[in-house]
Every structure is written in C-alpha cells, then in structure tokens.
Structure 1
Amino acid sequence: MKMSMLRRYFRRTTGGVVTELRLVTLRGDRGKLCAQTVASVVFAVYLADIFNLKERWWVALSAYALIRASPTVVFRRCLERLAGTVIGASIGVLLATMASRQSGLTVVALSFVSGLGVYCMLGSPYSYSWVLGTVTAIMVLSDAVGVDSSPSLAVNRVLDVSVGVLATATISAASFSIERLLRRGPSSVNLSGPSERSSRDSFTPHVAECSRSTRIWQALQGAIAIALIGSVNHFHALPNFVQSMVSVIAVLLVSPLVLLNGHVEEAVHVRMFNRLLGCFCAVLFAAPLLPLIGDTPFLCLLVLGTGVWLAAHVQAGSGEVSYIGTQFGVGFIMIFVQDYAWSTDASAALQRLWGILVALLILTATMAAFSEVGRKFRLHGRGDV
C-alpha cells in the first residue's frame, strides 16, 4: 500500500471510529445487539469454566463471532461454524497421522490445506464453514506435533466451539422469545455487518467462475505465506505459530464483489491494517487494566463486557471500520480470557498478538513478491504483442 493511500486510510479510519464511538448507546436495536453479544461471551466463559475447558478464549471468541441481529442468521452461522470445525478437525487428525510428526511433511500439509481452504472459501456461499474448517485443520495439525494423541486434541477443539455455539444459540433464542412475549418482534434493522450482508447475497456461480484466476492467485499467496511461516517456526519458534497461520487465512477472506472488481490486493491490505489496528487498540486499552482489576471474576467479567460492547458496537457500524471493531473484540477477548482461569498475566495473549504481527509481515512480503511477478508477467505479455 502506497504512503498516500496509507495516509488516506488512517484519516478515514480514525474519523470513522470516532464517529461510531460517539453513537454508543445502551438503547435501540444496536444496543440490544451489543447486549446479546456481551451476554453470549460471558455465558460462554461461564460454561467453559463449568466444563473445565482449557481454551476459554477460543470458546469466548466462538460466541463473539456468531451473534447477529437476525436469529435465522445466528443459527445458520452456528451450524456452519460447528460443521466446519468437525470436518476441519477430522482432516487435521488424518493429515497429522500421515505426517507422522515429521516437521517437513507437516509444513507441506499445512501449506496445502491453507491454499485449498483459501481457494474454496473465496468461491463458496458457505465460506464461513470453509474458513472454520481450514482454521481448525491447521490448528489440529500444527498442535499435533507436540501431543501424544491428535484425536483428543481434535475433540477438544470441537468441544470448545460446541460450547461457544451453545451459548450463542441459547442467548439468541432467549432474546427472540422475550421480544415475542413483549410483542416487539425481531429487529427491523439489519445490523449483521457489511461482510455478512454481502458475502452470501452477492455470491453467484458467475462470481466463482469469473474470479477463478483471482482465487487461485490468492490461494497460492496463502499457501506460500503459510509455508514460510512454518519454515521460520521450524528454525526459530514463533511467539504463537497457530495464531500466525490463522491470521493469514482471516485477512485473505474478501467479499465476492471484491473478487470481481479487481481490487483484491487493496482489500487485503485494508483488512491487514484493520486487524493490526484493532488488536493494537485492544492491547493499549486492556493490558494496563489487568494488574488493576486483579483476578477477581466479577471485575474481570465487568471489564470484559465493556470491551465486548464497544467492539460489537463498532462492528455493527459502517463498512470502513466494521472489521476494526471485530478485531478489537478478538484482541480484547484474547487478553482478558486466559486459559483455565482469570489471571493478571497477559503473556499468552501478547504472544498471540505477536503471532498476528509476524503473520502480517510475512504475508505482506509474499504479496509484494507476487505483485512484482505479476507486473513483470504483464509487461512481458505486452512485449510479445
């Protein structure tokens, strides 16, 4: 991204975030959506503690990512997330068994799964399932190297997501039932966020066919970036190997309309900066609070709920800053919801955030190399003409 474009991005983004924060309210459709999101995350953490799940942050993230204004959309996303997780976990176990804990074969398998997943998620109306399937497969495959039983690892991943899905579905159903009892009916305002409004509605077989070459190009970039991350991790352990790979998959997911208009590289760069900016703001806002509130569950839940509310509010706003709200919520949950129990130690969360930074740097370098290759290829083609 050029410096002029970067300056415009920061001016536009800063103004958009400030505008959204000025609109924060506890009432109305938007306030109700934020309240549902907070309730889902808090309930998911409560269930994770009851079932003694280690990856509490992943349970909370599952709940955070699923809530939408429409109960129909919520339940569809719950099913897609659960189905993608189960399939991805199964593929991860299969590939882990075939790789036999050999690092070289594992990196090749990770690269292949990532490339295939990126290609399919960009060309399918069920892209959310493909995203979760790809992410779960690489999580199980990468973690299987250091555990005795990859099937048990896969089962734990499915349980984490199932608990998050259960929390979200329960809160959404309860909210919908209360509305019906009060005779208000479901929300008439679509607060699903721009990516959710457009991804399925704008998908057609024509989109997938016309953008085939772009999808292949994106898949190759994703596969090579994952291979590079895996190679770096082999020689020098990264702060959080898994989070680095997940970040690559996340930022490469662009809408079908972007695939057609040819602005894919710019859209990915914007998603990269938004992910980085959202997580960075979460660190600045949340990390200093940890030593102040200690490990008191009530205070932790209160601050967590406040951060999630702000994230959900921005996420439901304009398309230019919606993804920043999403990533702010991701970073905030990573910091406050630690493994097993509440703690003032944010080292694990900060390692995950460092993993995100490493991934974005490697992906940026990969995209720059691909862009240069593409430019030379086009110039060479014009020379032949």
Structure 2
Amino acid sequence: MTANEGLRLRTALACWCAVLLALFLNLDNPWWAAISAFIVSGADRKTVVSKGALRVIGTVIGCAAAFYAATFFAGQYLTLSVLIIGSIVFGIYKRYTSPYSYAWTLACVTGTLVLFVSLQNPGETRAFAIDRCLEISSGVLAAMLVELLLNPRPISVEQDKTPADAETRRHAMEAAVFAGIIMVTILVLDRYFDLPSPIQIAVTATVMIPLQIGYGTKKAFDRLSGCLIGGSTGLAVVVFLPANLLVWSLLLIAGIFVFSRTHFSGLSNAYVGTQAVLAYLMTMVTGSGPPTTVEPVLDRLAGIFIGVVILVIGNLLAAELGFGRSSQGASISEKKPTAPA
C-alpha cells in the first residue's frame, strides 16, 4: 500500500469511527463528527493534532459565547442578526490575518450557527450548542486516535507563520465587509422566503469567501461540482441499497477512500474531491444510523447549492466594482489558504 493510499484509508476509517462515536453518544448531527474527522486528517501528525486542538477550542469558545449572547438577547431579532453579521465579519478578517486563524474561523462560524438556531428555534439553542461541541470533539478524537494508532511513519511539516502584510490586511478587510453583506443577504432572503437549510447556506457561503474578493468563483464552482458528484453517489446508495449497518459501513469507507484521492492530490481541482467527500458524508450520515429517507439530505444539498449561487453572484458584482485588486490595480493571488469549517 502506498503512502497516499494509507492516508486515504486512515481518513476513511477516522470518519467511520467518528460517526459511530457520535451515534453512540446519540448526537443529533453525526455527520458533523465525520466532517470534523475528515477535515482534521492529514499526512502530517503535528498538523493533525494542532488543527484538531484549534478546531475544538474554537468550537467551544464560539458555542459558549453565542449561547450566552442568545440567552441575554433572547427574542431580539435585530440584535441577534447584528451579532451574526459581526461574528462573520470579525471571523473572516482574523481568518486571513491571525496565526491562529483556524480557531478564530471555527469560533465565529460556530457562533453564527448557534445564533442562527436561536433565531429560528430558540428552545433548541442550548441543545444545539452542546451537541455541536460534542460532534466536533468526537470527530477530532477519532482522527487523532486513528493517526496515532495506524500511522507508523508520521511526517512533520513546518507551518507558515509569516505575519500578514499591509496588502493582505487590506484584502482581509474587504473580504470581511463582503462576508457581512453576504450574511445580510442570507438573513433577508430567509426572513421573507423561508430558505431550505439556511444554516447550510450560511456555512457554504462564508467558508468559501476568498481573500481576494471578485476572484473566488473557481472554488465555488469546484464546490458545486464536488457536491453534485458526492451527493448523487450518496443518494444512489441511500435509495437503492438496504439500510444495513455492515453494508453502509463498507460503502461509507469505500466512498471516502475513492473521493479523497482527488482531495489529497495537491492538484488545482483538489477542492472538487474535498467537496465530494463532504457531500457524500452529508448524504450517507443522517439521524441515528444508516439513512432511511432522503428528505434531510436534499435540504442540505439545496442549502449548499443556494450558498454557492449567492457567493458566485456576489463575487461577480464585487469584481465589477473593483474589489480584490492590489494597490497597483492588478489582481493578485490568495496568500493564505481558506480554512474550511
């Protein structure tokens, strides 16, 4: 078995273990545990541990802060909406300027989700916040254990901690303002049109906001392509195969193993593989066991699609207005990678 195949197999096993742990704990959204395990997994053991720790810390801080804010401002729609927008604006800025960008991203995105729940279903805010922390922790724990137990040849890669320069900070501020506008758009559309899975729409739109506004449409289209590939495959499994735990487990592991080949390829289309795995997980993992209905799956996939559409339209408008250009007027490439939520 090659090193790449070993990495893909460990990733698939980590996701499967994360789901089983989340199901054992009777958590509402076990697919978040699987996604956490997938995002944290990698060839560099030091990164797996540090990224996992930052993911948990950011999630706990975001959930706690948002829960207490939602409790204090309960029933105040406008105030909570302002907090949601402010959280995203601050999170996007720190994402591109802070050495602990991943923790900031998770804290602000998670806090936004908790506040979103407080707007829609106030009575579920506390349970959602607790479950979210446990789901993320389950995924991170699974990824770390699989890495420590099954990777006999760990590697260590030096992380780039170069401070953000003035140009990067300027683009980060543009991205933060753009994120706030996107969030206002989502809140207004949800308020008047009752969007399907608005939380998924918010996550999709915000995690893909690039440092260089107006030049991030490729990643949006890659996300949509991967969603169609992974989602359709998962739906086919759900519809045509029996809800048997053993069969489901084997197909879950196999699907992650196959799609993660592109994710770990390092090629320009690697994000297609990333999104294919995420969409596959969201279709294959629902409720308290193997999926028996496609309705919640279709809602989440619809949320991803709408989030991508909003982001693409926003990017095109931002490009027309001249956002995302360097101080000399020419476009630049992103200097820091996006941290997925």
Q: Following the alignment from structure 1 to structure 2, what is the Cα–Cα distance between the partners of residues 265 and 372?
A: 8
Taking a change above 3 Å as real, the CA distance of residues 253 and 165 of structure 1, as seen in their structure-2 partners, is farther
Equivalent in the alignment of 1:311: 259
How far apart are residue 134 of structure 1 and its match? 1.8
Equivalent in the alignment of 2:332: none
Q: Following the alignment from structure 1 to structure 2, what is the Cα–Cα distance between the partners of residues 131 and 275?
A: 19
Query: CA offsets, 1:283-314, max 9 Å, x none?
Result: 22221221221211111111111111122211
Q: Which amino acid aligns with 2:248?
A: C
Give TM-score scaled by structure 2 length: 0.89
Q: Matched residues, percent identical?
A: 26
1:166 and 2:141 equivalent?
yes
Alignment of 1:287-306 (within 5 A): 287-306=235-254
Query: Secondary structure, in 3 states, of the residue corresponding to 1:320?
Result: coil
Equivalent in the alignment of 1:135: 109
Q: Following the alignment from structure 2 to structure 1, what is the Cα–Cα distance between the partners of residues 267 and 176?
A: 25
How far apart are residue 371 of structure 1 and its match? 2.8
Equivalent in the alignment of 1:11: none
Query: CA offsets, 1:251-294, max 9 Å, x none?
Result: 1155xxxxxxxx6532x211111111111111222212212212
Question: Do the aligned residues in 1 keep the contact of 2:14 with 2:143 (CA within 8 Å)?
Answer: yes
* Unmatched 5+ stretches in structure 2: 330-341
Q: Which has the larger radius of gyration?
A: 1
Q: Following the alignment from structure 1 to structure 2, what is the Cα–Cα distance between the partners of residues 253 and 129?
A: 17
Taking a change above 3 Å as real, the CA distance of residues 373 and 264 of structure 1, as seen in their structure-2 partners, is closer
Equivalent in the alignment of 1:193: none
Taking a change above 3 Å as real, the CA distance of residues 155 and 208 of structure 1, as seen in their structure-2 partners, is farther
Alignment of 1:87-106 (within 5 A): 87-106=61-80
Alignment of 1:316-355 (within 5 A): 316-355=264-303
Query: CA offsets, 1:317-358, max 9 Å, x none?
Result: 033011111110000000000022222312212211111111
Of 179, 202, 212, which residue of structure 1 is paired with 2:169? 212
Question: Do the aligned residues in 1 keep the contact of 2:220 with 2:311 (CA within 8 Å)?
Answer: no
Equivalent in the alignment of 1:186: 154
Q: How many residues align?
A: 325
Q: Following the alignment from structure 2 to structure 1, what is the Cα–Cα distance between the partners of residues 16 and 29?
A: 15
* Bigger helix share: 1
Of 245, 251, 264, which residue of structure 1 is paired with 2:208? 251
Q: Which amino acid aligns with 2:182?
A: A
Taking a change above 3 Å as real, the CA distance of residues 134 and 253 of structure 1, as seen in their structure-2 partners, is farther
Q: Following the alignment from structure 2 to structure 1, what is the Cα–Cα distance between the partners of residues 66 and 106?
A: 12
Equivalent in the alignment of 2:336: none
Equivalent in the alignment of 2:193: 236
- Superposed CA RMSD in Å reads 2.2
1:265 and 2:222 equivalent?
no
Question: Do the aligned residues in 1 keep the contact of 2:175 with 2:210 (CA within 8 Å)?
Answer: no
Q: Following the alignment from structure 1 to structure 2, what is the Cα–Cα distance between the partners of residues 249 and 118?
A: 8
Taking a change above 3 Å as real, the CA distance of residues 326 and 301 of structure 1, as seen in their structure-2 partners, is same
Give TM-score scaled by structure 1 length: 0.79
